[in-house]
Amino acid sequence: MMIEVCCPDIPSVQRAIEGGADRIELCRALELDGLTPTREDIRTAVDMCHRAGVKVHVLIRSREGDFVYTAPEEARRMSDEIAMALDEGADGVVLGALTPDGDIDTDLCSTWIGVVRRHPRVESGELRDLGITFHRAFDVCRSPMDAVEDIIRLGCNRLLTSGHAPSAVDGIPLLARLVQATEGRLVILAGAGVSASNYHRIMDEAGVCEVHGSFRGGIPRRDKA
């Protein structure tokens, strides 16, 4: 079992560490569904988490709104933000983009993943356990079963999804289909509305091994032995 906690600021990072989080997804502006955090917050969170043995993945999203990025300056800005996150010691990035038709924008995502692969920490072998997560842009894509294959071909390690539903509980049927279809080629990270009271059900019925949430009511504790 892996518990990823979404943290929009440094105090929430501290609480997540103290509560037993396995991994942090660092962002800002949760009221806008999350944006790229500042360099200073990335640096501080990485220092805090690494001292505690916790990994940090950084959300890369330059603006609120949809996930269609046709303006060249938007693509360049997020490329720069990916490099910044890795410069500051992040263990992975969380990204995603769609075409105007609602498919995975494989060209743009390939460009961003290329920035990751060419980063000095990756090329030198320093960052061996690299995490690339495709975020919940997936949950508004046109054809989820086609999209998940595109995400695998891109080289992503993980997909954050609620199963095309308002919450992961509601999305259990599709989450289970995704787990079966990917057959270990991709980690399905269940997120949206996950709490200490329902994560057992999501994991058991969907077959996922990782969950994601803010866990404002407390991070679930479970024997990992």
Predicted confidence at residue 222, as pLDDT, reads 57
Contact 190, 207 (CB under 8 A): no
Q: Classify burial at 68, counting beta carbons within 10 Å of its beta carbon; exposed 0-12, middle 13-18, buried 19 or more.
A: middle
Residues contacting 182, CB < 8 A, separation 6+: 148, 152, 188
DSSP H or E stretch at residue 6: strand 2-7
Alpha-carbon 192 to chain mean position: 12
pLDDT in tens, 149-196: 999 999 999 999 999 999 999 999 999 999 999 988 999 999 999 999
Give CA separation, 41 vs 7, 10, 26, 63, in Å: 11, 7, 9, 17
pLDDT in tens, 44-54: 999 999 999 99
Tokens of 220: 């679930």
Domains and CATH numbers, the chain: 2-213 (3.20.20.380)
Averages of pLDDT over runs of 10 residues in the chain (225 residues) are 96 95 96 96 98 97 96 96 98 98 98 96 90 97 98 97 97 98 95 93 96 88 49
Question: What are 5's strand-pairing partners?
Answer: 24, 213
Task: Quote the tokens at residue 218.
Answer: 């407390």
Left if phi > 0, otherwise alpha if psi is -120 to 50, otherwise beta: which for 215? left
Specify burial of residue 31 (Cβ count, 10 A radius: 0-12, 13-18, 19+): exposed
What predicted TM-score, i.e. pTM, was given to this entire model? Answer: 0.95
Closest CA relative to residue 138, chosen from 112, 176, 184, 106: 106
Task: Please answer whether residues 95 and 114 qualify as being in contact, where contact means their C-beta atoms are separated by less than 8 angstroms.
Answer: no
**Residue 109 DSSP SS3:** helix
